[in-house]
Amino acid sequence: MGEKRDVLGLVLTLSSAVALMVALGMVFLYAPREATMGDVQRIFYFHVASAWVGFFAFFVTFLAGIGYLARGERRWDILALSSVEIGLTFIAMTVVTGSLWARPVWGTYWTWEPRLTISAVQLLIYVAYGMLRASVEGPERKARFAAVYGIVAFVTVPLSWFAIRWWRTIHPDVMTGGEGMAFTSRMGHTLLVSLVAFTLLYATLLRQRIKLERAADVLTRLRLRAQSIAK
């Protein structure tokens, strides 16, 4: 069954490889050097792109959760779980690149800047989702609980975003004062290409992760059959 050619997977892999190369080239060669922050600002393109994927992945999990509760089919659960794992990686990358950027620009690795804070909250939600799955017995129940958590958690994310934003505007953070960036159209192009590249990468990883989970399912079934024959 695994023998047939995965054309879509191949296309995705190749196109995300090309897009990432182009994005990388643009980040270093095409995008101009930012006037006040210097080269450090170049991390911005991948930082924003991974934040976008981190958020989008959770949205996919939210939709997959609804799909699972409505239909009860395993494929929705596979989609939800795959998307969360990839989203976790990207949101962790967002927090790390944000810290790397913050150090030279704001003089500290961590500041309770709104967007960094919301990324950290999202990271914790992803971690909680993972812990929940690990702690529930039985695949059907695991899928059901995870779907419910994915839905309710996603509902609170926009509210967190508002709350953290308002909270920080009321108590302005001096360290974010120098944040205004001189944004040129070349920067815009680079950001756009990075976003496309990361989205393609997400799709590629998602595809692979789903295949992996399906293979694991097949393996479990074979094992169960082998056991029943041996008896």
Partner 1 sequence: MGFLIKVWAIVVKDVAAELHTREMVSAMLVFSVLSLLIFSFALDLRGAVAQAAGPGVLWATVAFAGTLGLSRSMAREQQSGCIDGLLLAPVDRSAIFFGKALGNLIFMAVLEIVLLPLFSALFDVPFLLPGVLLVVALGTLGYAAVGTLLASIAVNTRAREVMLPVLLLPLAVPLLIAAVQATGGLVEGASLGEVGGWLQLLVVYDLLVVAASMLTYNYVVEE
User: Considering only residues 8, 10, 35, 128, which one is a binding residue for partner 1 as defined by CB under 8 A?
Assistant: 128
How many Å from the N-terminal Cα to the C-terminal Cα in the chain? 26
Closest to partner 1 by CB, 17 vs 121, is 121
Query: From the CB of 164, what's the least distance to partner 1, in Å?
Result: 7
Closest to partner 1 by CB, 23 vs 164, is 164
Tell me the backbone φ, ψ of residue 34, rounded to 5 degrees: -70, 140
Residues 174-193 that bind partner 1 (CB under 8 A): none
CA dihedral of residues 66, 68, 70, 71 (deg, nearest 10)? 150
CA distance 153 to 74: 21
Q: Contact, 218 vs 78, CB < 8 A?
A: no
User: Considering only residues 100, 136, 175, 196, which one is a binding residue for partner 1 as defined by CB under 8 A?
Assistant: 136
DSSP string, 54-123: HHHHHHHHHHHHHHHHHH--HHHHHHHHHHHHHHHHHHHHHHHHHHHHHHHHHSSS----HHHHHHHHHH
Query: From the CB of 101, what's the least distance to partner 1, in Å?
Result: 23
Residues 30-89 that bind partner 1 (CB under 8 A): 69
- Among 1-9, 13-21, 88-96, 153-161, which window interacts with partner 1 (CB under 8 A)? 153-161
Interface residues with partner 1 (CB under 8 A) are: 69, 121, 124-125, 127-128, 131-132, 135-137, 141, 144-145, 147-149, 151-153, 155-156, 159-160, 162-164, 166-167, 170
